[in-house]
Amino acid sequence: MELPIITMLSYRESALLVMQLKVLGCSGGVGGNLRTTSFLLDEDILIDAGTGVGDLSFEELCRIDHIFLTHSHLDHVTSIPFLLDTVMGKRTKPIYLHALDRTIEALKSHIFNWVIWPDFNLIPNADSPVLQYCPIKVGETVSIDERNITPLTVNHVVPAVGFRIDSGSASLVFTGDTTKCDELWEEINRIQNLKYLIIETAYSNAERELALVSKHLCPSLLTEELKKLLHESEIFITHLKPDERKLIMDEIKVSAASLNAKALENGQVFRL
């Protein structure tokens, strides 16, 4: 039986009264119930699109209107091709993909190139594609139904950003993948309504040199960076490598005990 076209409701047309961010995936790897990085903002916005997107129902996938990407690495973008293929023909408007110019270029060159996957920016046709690219820049806020998303400076091996998600009454910062970065903390410290900070720590202290080379954080580097944070906020750790999850969190508890940082959990919901 042919499925009907699903009409999308905007955030303000829905029954939601509070902005909420749900963790679909927050692991630095897969296996068992682990999912890679992705968050669902309300019902219609993805922040990154790792393997966690695959747990959404067909109806939930059809409600997604926007994707914001921190960067082009596979663990953050892998579900985009499947999402587009799944909902194509069931929508009345494109999915808008918000990313840095160079992230968009990477997707065009290496994924949506007709070799790895079709170019959904051209199908079903160039005039009405299912995917539309929307370049973003650090510091320039994108507002969608009074939800403000601002790209932040980070330091990774490919062009990347973090995001400030601001409801007006409270803000959440998600760093994405990063290593030491003074500019990031300068931007965070200007946020007066900061409530939550989600920050990566991919490696244990024994792998500090690997963290530096790959531009990630380990507990000792994280502790150095968090000393630059001037505002109180709840701190959550993401991107933990599956086989080192407990070790990394134990090391954070030793070096940054006063901050009471917690491991981010799949399914966790933040309300702003």
Q: Specify whether 84 is located in the same domain as 165.
A: no
Instruction: Assess if residue 53 is contained within a domain.
Output: yes
Neighbours of 169 (CB within 10 A): 10
Instruction: Assess if residue 14 is contained within a domain.
Output: no
Residues 6 or more apart in contact with residue 221 via CB below 8 angstroms:
179, 180, 208, 211, 212
Q: Specify whether 251 is located in the same domain as 143.
A: yes
**Which pLDDT value is given to residue 101?**
98
**Which pLDDT value is given to residue 10?**
47
Q: For 55-94, what is each residue's pLDDT tens digit?
A: 999 999 999 999 999 999 999 999 999 999 999 989 889 9
Q: In Å, how far are 120, 148, 175, 199, 204 from 168, measured between CA atoms?
A: 34, 8, 19, 21, 36
Q: Specify whether 81 is located in the same domain as 142.
A: no
Q: For 181-223, what is each residue's pLDDT tens digit?
A: 999 999 999 999 999 999 999 999 999 999 999 999 999 999 9
CATH of the domain at 244: 3.60.15.10
- Which pair of tokens denotes residue 103? 């992230």
Number of folded domains in the chain?
Answer: 2
Q: For 12-34, what is each residue's pLDDT tens digit?
A: 444 445 899 999 999 999 988 99
Q: Specify whether 155 is located in the same domain as 117.
A: no
Q: Specify whether 125 is located in the same domain as 219.
A: no
Pairing of strands 38-41, 20-25: antiparallel
Q: Specify whether 130 is located in the same domain as 151.
A: no
**Which pLDDT value is given to residue 18?**
85
Q: Specify whether 213 is located in the same domain as 126.
A: no
Domain interval for residue 85: 19-99+101-135
Q: Specify whether 176 is located in the same domain as 85.
A: no
